[in-house]
Amino acid sequence: MKPINVGLIGIGTVGGGTWTVLKRNADEIARRAGRPIRITAVADKNVELAKQVTGGEARVTDDAFSLVNDPEIDIIVELIGGYGVAKDVVLQSIANGKHVVTANKALLAVHGTEIFSAAQANGVMVAFEAAVAGGIPVIKALREGLSANRIEWAAGIINGTTNFILSEMRDKGLSFDDVLKEAQRLGYAEADPTFDIEGVDAAHKATLIASIAFGIPVQFDKAYVEGITKLEASDIKYAEQLGYRIKLLGIAKRRENGIELRVHPTLIPAKRLIANVEGAMNAVLVKGDAVGATMYYGKGAGAEPTASAVIADLVDVTRLATADAAHRVPHLAFQPDAMSNLPILPMSEIETGYYLRLRVEDKPGVLADVTRILADQAISIDAMLQREPEEGEGETDIIILTHVCKESAADTAIARIEALSAQKGKVKRIRLEELQ
Amino acid sequence: MKPINVGLIGIGTVGGGTWTVLKRNADEIARRAGRPIRITAVADKNVELAKQVTGGEARVTDDAFSLVNDPEIDIIVELIGGYGVAKDVVLQSIANGKHVVTANKALLAVHGTEIFSAAQANGVMVAFEAAVAGGIPVIKALREGLSANRIEWAAGIINGTTNFILSEMRDKGLSFDDVLKEAQRLGYAEADPTFDIEGVDAAHKATLIASIAFGIPVQFDKAYVEGITKLEASDIKYAEQLGYRIKLLGIAKRRENGIELRVHPTLIPAKRLIANVEGAMNAVLVKGDAVGATMYYGKGAGAEPTASAVIADLVDVTRLATADAAHRVPHLAFQPDAMSNLPILPMSEIETGYYLRLRVEDKPGVLADVTRILADQAISIDAMLQREPEEGEGETDIIILTHVCKESAADTAIARIEALSAQKGKVKRIRLEELQ
């Protein structure tokens, strides 16, 4: 089927990631979308960079509007950022009847009402999953997945830079200034980190979340915004002693007479799952009246995580422009004629780590026998625990954690251990996954 | 606009929840979907129950097929469960050109290929968000939100009963049998808990996850299924000592030559977020090549959480049947002509808890002054921490956590505390949310 043609405007971090992922997963994405998605033209001020990234596989220009006005282009991806050219690009694309995909939270939080009205009037979509929480599909969850609910509130760790800084301040007992310098060195904070550390970036995202949760117009100017620059290490320590962690939260809460929309450092009970979201990770917790609390967790920034959201929007638009309504999303995600024939593997072929509990006579040489059996099967040991036998017990438990190996190797090793005279009964085997 | 007519078959726990939530949130849902969604007929063997729940607001019958064959009904919601009548109901509804929404994981994991082919051939949708992880929109996340990714693996706590049992075994050091009895008493486990504790229910869900993640046909018969009945308290304890927790995971993993599809008790590092999902909660962790790891957390069962997913599917179907393609999902979740005019509240009106750090002279009467000021503003104290002043310091920190109050009351109290001669400088104020 004829590819859908995309014009990519801005090939910096996220734009580069979008190019890379679309190319690497072209086949997988086409099998899902129903037709290929192809970036046919790229516009960037830095033409040399654009040429280098695209390697001659797309038309490159420094004129964004040559893409916006190109009748061959179906979708414009706007990754310039800010309120200037980006706004003109988005509005002109809409006026030209093109769908728009953007990661520009600042633009939408401030000019969303104008932009969405224009899109509505021109019969095009403005998709912006990448604008909130990077690769986490939280816009989709709120707008579609939770549509049965009266949303009561949403609270999110929606700025990775500040969460990294707060995590480091807590872990290492350092001051804000020291951690900020480290974050800049590691690339977790920008040279001018104002938008992040003063809470402005989080407030842009919270503004969008509030609108989607409650059906109110975007009103960034009404948001309360307080950053983390005045937090002291002592406050983090005192909070910890009282059973709380401090996170920069974006909060949107429904009250009877209005909506609370605010971003500020917030104490939250340490036992909440969201309190344990550390480093540059993001998470959004949403309370609906029917579903209760749900949480969405993942990387909120970075080239490929954000590209993941940009491309999900491209697939959404493509599916609508391609399939009949009833088959917009294939039942099993991939088009029925593009299913995979990868077989389900038999258990002997799977690979995992193992917890093995042995019950052995407490005598010399047993451990040597067991470790030799494991070595014979090329199974390496990750950790071991031997319980002290109680007085006169004569038997004890040995616990072995193995590195990843084939289940067939584990089967053989277990059978051989069970054949040892020192082993009493069966070996208890529980599989182990690092989930990294 | 003309309502979309739904026939509800099966008005047990989830069916009752669906009725309740659709009725309670009718306005909110119509504002999102673009038209009212109305259950016009209900079929259940227990006609009396159905009459009681619906209170005369829908036609009630014990004949499911009178709904399936009713030309006035647009969508059939199948909540019978199992492979028998449910299968006939689903296939006949499809043949009659009706869309189907179902929570029936067993039916789809076993007969999905036949059902999805029929739906494809008849131009209707079979939506099944409620079949996996209850109210958590994880099908939508996998099928749409992560469509840019080559999925590497998914691992989920997708059975609440077993997670409740494992959490209790760990917390209380009890045996499987003892906790199972408690779970049955509390309603977390059914009288015949076999499907849950033997891992069958989780395997149905893992089968669907694997299909959607990798685009393979549903193949429940090839899944490896091991439950939690043989887990001993000692294994949970040893795992803990080694830094791991044991969870019943459904795992779908892509390997070069095939797919691993397995359900079994699994050790996972205690520091992973998913290891801290306790009680009857569910969570699914998905690893994509672009986005990295994302996690989806919430209630995986229960009347209203599952109804939340059923109704989200109804909204999905309704939006497709209602709007032009470009406006299937409104930009801000609600139809542009159905936005709310709830204002954003000024900060003085918000309600939250507070962490207050005072720096005071270490002398008698200070605490009495402070607590009286708080009491005057009707602010009640949740916890307090006073640091021992160091030798000769003469000043100390007092930390106060307050219950929820109005920000204006906190402002007044803080101003009055700062006016005390014993208070040195500003009071440090950080807001506090319980997020419950």
For the domain that residue A36 is a member of, what is the CATH number? Answer: 3.40.50.720
Residue B61 has φ and ψ, to the nearest 5°, of -150, 160
Buried-state track A197-206, b at ≥16 Cβ within 10 A, e below 16:
bbbbbbbbbb
Reported as a pLDDT band with limits 50, 70 and 90, residue A71 is very high
Q: What's the Cα-to-Cα distance from B81 to each of B86, B87, B200, rounded to whole Å?
A: 6, 9, 14
pLDDT at position A323 = 67
Give the nearest partner residue to B290 out of A234, A308, A333, using CB atoms. Answer: A308
Q: Read off the pLDDT of residues A386-430 as tens digits, 9 standing for 90 and up.
A: 988 887 888 999 999 999 999 999 999 999 999 999 999 999 999
The number of domains in chain A is 3
Residue with tokens 């949740």: B382
The mean pLDDT of B405-429, rounded to a whole number, is 97
Question: From B265, which residue of chain A is nearest by alpha-carbon distance?
Answer: A430
Same domain for A122 and A205, yes or no, is no
**Domain boundaries, position B363:** 347-432
Contact (CB<8Å) A137/B145? yes
**Token duo for residue A378:** 């090329």
Is residue B205 among the annotated active site residues? Answer: yes
Which residue of A344, A345, A408, A411 is the best one to mutate when testing the B interface, meaning the one whose CB has the most B CBs within 10 A? A344
The mean pLDDT of A326-331, rounded to a whole number, is 84
Question: From A249, which residue of chain B is nearest by alpha-carbon distance?
Answer: B433
The mean pLDDT of B103-118, rounded to a whole number, is 97
Instruction: Indicate whether B102 pLDDT > 90.
Output: yes
Same domain for A106 and A152, yes or no, is no
Per DSSP (E only), the strands in B300-377 are: 351-361
Q: Read off the pLDDT of residues B29-56 as tens digits, 9 standing for 90 and up.
A: 999 999 999 999 999 999 999 999 999 9
Same domain for B97 and B146, yes or no, is no
Same domain for A247 and A160, yes or no, is yes
Tell whether B289 lies on the interface with A, counting CB pairs under 8 A.
yes
Structural contact between residues A54 and A78, judged by C-beta atoms closer than 8 angstroms: no
Q: Rounded distance, CA B137 to CA B310, Å? A: 10
Determine the residue type at A186. L
- All residues of chain B having their beta carbon less than 8 Å from the beta carbon of residue A325 are 320-321, 325
Instruction: Indicate whether A131 pLDDT > 70.
Output: yes
Reported as a pLDDT band with limits 50, 70 and 90, residue B243 is very high
**Token duo for residue A308:** 């993941």
pLDDT at position A388 = 81
Same domain for B309 and B423, yes or no, is no
Instruction: Indicate whether A187 pLDDT > 90.
Output: no
Same domain for A120 and A31, yes or no, is yes
Provide the CATH number for the domain around residue B204.
3.30.360.10
Residue A212 has φ and ψ, to the nearest 5°, of -75, -35
Q: Read off the pLDDT of residues B155-175 as tens digits, 9 standing for 90 and up.
A: 999 999 999 999 999 999 999
Same domain for A264 and A400, yes or no, is no
Instruction: Indicate whether A364 pLDDT > 90.
Output: no
Q: Read off the pLDDT of residues A15-26 as tens digits, 9 standing for 90 and up.
A: 999 999 999 999
Q: Which residues pair with B326 in a beta bridge?
A: none
Provide the CATH number for the domain around residue B372.
3.30.70.260
Same domain for B81 and B229, yes or no, is no
Strands A381-386 and A258-269, sheet pairing: unpaired
pTM confidence score: 0.96
Tell whether A239 lies on the interface with B, counting CB pairs under 8 A.
yes
Contact (CB<8Å) B148/A339? no
**Token duo for residue B413:** 């109290």
**How far does the CA of residue B182 sit from the closest CA of chain A (Å)?**
24
Q: Read off the pLDDT of residues B169-199 as tens digits, 9 standing for 90 and up.
A: 999 999 999 999 999 998 888 889 999 999 9
pLDDT at position A393 = 80
Q: Rounded distance, CA A72 to CA A22, Å? A: 19
pLDDT at position B323 = 67
Same domain for A248 and A171, yes or no, is yes
Give the nearest partner residue to A28 out of B25, B150, B355, using CB atoms. Answer: B150
Residues in B 117-176 with any Cβ partner in A closer than 8 A? 117, 119-120, 123-126, 129, 134-137, 140-150, 155
Residue with tokens 């950053």: A227
Contact (CB<8Å) B345/A260? yes
Question: From A384, which residue of chain B is nearest by alpha-carbon distance?
Answer: B242
Average pLDDT, chain B: 96
Tell whether A98 lies on the interface with B, counting CB pairs under 8 A.
no
Same domain for A32 and A179, yes or no, is no
Q: Read off the pLDDT of residues A225-239 as tens digits, 9 standing for 90 and up.
A: 999 999 999 999 999
Of B87, B98, B105, B205, the active-site residue reads B205
Q: Read off the pLDDT of residues B266-306 as tens digits, 9 standing for 90 and up.
A: 999 999 999 999 999 999 999 999 999 999 999 999 999 99
Q: Read off the pLDDT of residues B127-137 as tens digits, 9 standing for 90 and up.
A: 999 999 999 99
Average pLDDT, chain A: 95
Same domain for B175 and B290, yes or no, is yes
pLDDT at position A306 = 97
The mean pLDDT of B101-106, rounded to a whole number, is 97
Same domain for B293 and B321, yes or no, is no
pLDDT at position B179 = 96
Instruction: Indicate whether B327 pLDDT > 90.
Output: no
